[in-house]
Amino acid sequence: MKKRQLGKSGLEVSAIGFGCMGLNYAYSATIDKKESISLLRAAVDRGVTFFDTAEIYGPYTNEELVGEALKPYRDSVVIATKFGIKLRDGKQVQDSHPLRIRESVEGSLKRLNTDVIDLYYQHRVDTQVPIEDVAGTMKNLISEGKIKHWGLSEAGVQTVRRAHAVQPVTAVESEYSLWWRRPEEALLPELEELGIGFVPFSPLGKGFLTRTISKDAKFDKSDFRSIVPRFMPAALAANQALMDLLKQVAEEKKATPAQIALAWLLGQKPWIVPIPGTTKLSRLDENIGAANVELAGSDLGRINAALAKIKVEGERYPEELEKRTGL
C-alpha cells in the first residue's frame, strides 16, 4: 500500500484508509463484532494503516471493536476518533466544552484500549464554545501525551484558520467525492495554504458511486440514507448520468466505478486520504486496489469536463444536519 502524509504534520498513513462507522452503525447492512474484527485485521494485513471511528458511533461500541481489532497492531496503525457529539434524551447534541472534551478523551482511550489517540477530531463545530477554547484544550492534551494530533470535521475555512493559529491542525475531515465537490470552492485552497491534510469521508457517495444502487433502491428506516434527499427516488434516477460517466472511464481503465471514484480523489492532491467504509472483504480489496489505478492529468481533466455538464440532484443532508456543517 502506498503511503501519504497528512499535510505538513509528519503523520504518515496509507493512501486509502478505512472508515469504520458502517461496521455497526448508521446503515442497515451492518455486521457483528466478530466479522468486524476479522475485516479490520484483514485491512491491516493488506497494508491499511489509517482507521477512523468516533465515540458517537454505536454509540461507543464502534470504538470498542476498533480497539479490540487493532490491539495486536497498535504500534503500526493510526487511529482517528472524534469528540463533540453526545446523547441527551436519545438525541444527538453538540458539546465541545473543555470539561466534556476531557471526559470524552478518557472514555475513548479506554474503549480503544490504547494509551494515546493518534488523531483526535472535533466531530462538528460547537457554536456555543469558541474554537480557540477547543484548540487550547487540544494543545494541552497533546502536551499531556493523551493525543498526538488533532483535527476538525466539517468545519469552514474561518474556523480552521482560527483553530490552526492556536494549535496546528493536522487534518480536516469532510465529505468530498465526485458528487459532492463543495470543498474545492474554498476549503481545499485554504488547507493547501496552511499545510493541513484532508480526509474525505463518504468518498463513494454513501455507496452510490459503487454503481450498486439502482434508481429504484429503497432504504430501511435504520439506514441513514432513508432521510437523505439525494437518495430519494427522483434524485437517484436523475443522478444516473454520473454513474454512466464512471462506467465509461472504468471500462477504459480496466477498473471498477468505485476505484475510479477513489482514484479521482487521490489525483486531486497528494495530501488527500479518503476513508471508504465497507462490510465486505471483496469491497475492501476493491477499495485498496484504487491506489494502483493511475489517472493522468488528461484523464482528470476529461472527467472534470464531463462532470461540469452533469447536475447532481438532491441535497447531501436533511436541512437540520446541514446546519451543523461548514461553520
pTM for this entry: 0.95
Are the beta carbons of 149 and 80 closer than 8 angstroms? no
Cell numbers at 136, concatenated: 487550547
Structural domain includes residue 117: yes
Structural domain includes residue 55: yes
- 283-311: pLDDT as tens digits: 999 999 999 999 999 999 999 998 888 88
Q: Which of 25, 27, 57, 120 is catalytic?
A: 57
For residue 324, pLDDT over 90 is answered with no
Are the beta carbons of 155 and 149 closer than 8 angstroms? no
Question: Who's near 266: CB < 8 A, 6+ residues apart?
Answer: 15, 272, 274, 290, 291
Least confident residue range of 25-29, 65-69, 86-90, 267-271 = 25-29
- 197-242: pLDDT as tens digits: 999 999 999 888 988 888 888 888 888 898 988 889 888 888 888 8
Are the beta carbons of 208 and 222 closer than 8 angstroms? no
Q: Is 57 a catalytic residue?
A: yes
Domain, as residue range, for 156:
3-206+268-295
Total count of domains within the chain: 1
Per-residue pLDDT, averaged over 39-47, amounts to: 98
- The CATH number of the domain holding residue 193 is 3.20.20.100
- 101-122: pLDDT as tens digits: 999 999 999 999 999 999 999 9
Average per-residue pLDDT in the chain?
94
